[in-house]
Amino acid sequence: MKGRVIASFSQEEKPYYSEEKSFEKCEKETTYESEDDFAFFDLFGDLEEQNLTQPGEGGYPRKPEPARSDASQSVQHLPTSQAPPERGGSALSAPICLHSDFFFVDASYNVQGNYSDYVSKALQSLLGLRYINYSHIIEEKKNRIEQAQNGKKTLILDLDETLIHSDLDNRLPRHDHVITFTYEDHDVHIPINFRPGLQEFLKAVSENFEVVVFTASKQEYADVILNFLDPGNTIFKKRLYRESCINVENKVFIKDLRILNRKLEDMVIVDNSLYAFANQLSNGILINSFYDDQEDTELSNLLSYLQQYIHNAPDVRCVNESIFSFRTILEGLSKFQSE
């Protein structure tokens, strides 16, 4: 593979991150790092004694059924003859190679009854990402969005297992729709399921938020689904695909919000993979992976959370951190490791 980006380091080297600035709870005066400051935290330890706020138990949201695997790389699992090619071709588009101690926790593990365990393992696994200097990669991947109207917050939504599920192996008993697209003279057919309440959710958030879709899937596949969901192109103000992610060993696809021309305090990202917002944990809302649970109420609960707490928040990070505490937990783990 041409032009891999190698994160080389020795055990004596310190993790790459800028000097941390103060981070307080919502009820206190808060100073956050700027969009260009933050790289990552040093982290380690056991979360069993941490006070994790679990969706469904802490006021937001509930959980769907488990299934075989995370489909965030949907088209990659198609037969080789049908799979669209990797997009891009520069050295910075190639997967980042990591130290051998990195372990990956698949988002299919993020299911009903397993939220805290998934969060615990996923946060600990991020230790393997702490040495990466993302600044040059972010610069290459920067995207501009037109000026937001009426000061709306920017809501960034994942696609696979957050809004829909693609049943690539046709294992589920029912499907809501079948998407079809042509690639290299082959007709590709993929059955999909929509998360319950999807259209109502998209309509509601588009009225109060600037909505962006950010998927780790390839454009050829994603656009067919997005065109079906938003035929008039009135909901999604921007579409970002796999080439806008930071690809780590073809397993982790980080969606670094610094590539967008928006302030971090005005952006929130919803994803079923904690890795997606690993570089901005306080901007993230972790939603359980969806496959085929027709009793799923995640989007309804998410909508209530967004409208009641995020819509008018001066800083979305302060609100999210007071609920989910991902960054606070990592700071505690970092201190524990250094002791």
What is 5-10+18-338's CATH superfamily?
HAD superfamily/HAD-like (3.40.50.1000)
Token reading at 146: 């037109």
What element of type H or E holds 5? strand 5-6
Domain coordinates in residue numbering, the chain: 5-10+18-338
The dihedrals phi and psi of 194, each to the nearest 5 degrees, come to -95, 135
The dihedrals phi and psi of 179, each to the nearest 5 degrees, come to -90, 150
Predicted confidence at residue 334, as pLDDT, reads: 64
Token reading at 154: 């920017």
Token reading at 246: 């930071």
DSSP for 241-305 reads: -GGGSEEETTTEEE--GGGBSS-GGGEEEEES-GGGGTTSGGGEEE-PPPSS-TT--HHHHHHHH
Catalytic residues: 158, 160
Please give the model's pTM, rounded to 2 decimal places: 0.75
pLDDT in tens, the chain (339 residues): 322 221 221 222 222 222 233 344 444 444 434 433 333 222 222 223 333 344 444 335 443 333 333 333 333 333 333 333 333 334 445 677 765 567 889 999 999 889 999 998 888 888 777 778 888 899 999 998 887 677 899 999 999 999 999 999 999 999 999 999 887 788 999 999 999 999 999 999 999 999 999 999 999 999 999 999 999 999 999 999 999 999 988 889 999 999 999 999 999 999 999 999 999 999 999 999 999 999 999 999 999 999 999 999 999 999 999 999 998 887 776 666 666
Predicted confidence at residue 101, as pLDDT, reads: 64
Predicted confidence at residue 152, as pLDDT, reads: 93
* Partners of 180 in beta bridges: 189
Check if the beta carbon of residue 244 is closer than 8 Å to that of residue 132.
Answer: no
